[in-house]
């Protein structure tokens, strides 16, 4: 299965408020659309735009906000289920303790 690198392009766009992650992501998926859908599912968060500011559009699904590249050669395993490989939730996105 292909490995995709999804890279944010314009982090100033207010639609990024709807994502818990704003860096590059490495995703194993059968095609670009599936990679974008999975990234949005994993990183998407609900937002509360104030009235009159509009609504959010899922940033990971928008080509003008996220560049998608298929890796021809990758250090990641091609075999396996669709999944976000990087960032790793176990290693990279551990919750930080609250300050007292």
Domain boundaries, the chain: 3-86
Would the pLDDT of 96 be above 60? no
How far is it, in rounded angstroms, from Cα 3 to Cα 87? 14
pLDDT of residue 47: 74
pLDDT of residue 24: 97
SS3 content of the chain, % helix, strand, coil (to 5): 20, 20, 60
Per the CB < 8 A criterion, the answer to whether 33 and 82 are in contact is no
Burial class (CB in 10 A: 0-12, 13-18, 19+), 95: exposed
Write the pLDDT tens digit of every residue in 37-95.
999 999 998 876 665 566 667 899 999 999 999 998 889 999 999 999 999 766 554 55
């Amino acid at each position: 299965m292909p490995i995709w690198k999804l890279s944010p392009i314009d982090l100033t766009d207010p639609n990024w408020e709807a994502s818990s992650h704003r860096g590059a992501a490495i995703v194993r998926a059968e095609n670009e659309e599936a990679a974008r859908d999975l990234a949005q599912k994993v990183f998407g968060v609900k937002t509360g735009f104030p009235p009159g500011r509009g609504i959010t559009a899922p940033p990971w699904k928008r080509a003008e906000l996220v560049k998608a590249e298929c890796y021809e050669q990758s250090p990641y395993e091609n075999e396996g289920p669709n999944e976000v490989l990087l960032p790793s939730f176990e290693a990279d996105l551990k919750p930080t303790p609250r300050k007292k």
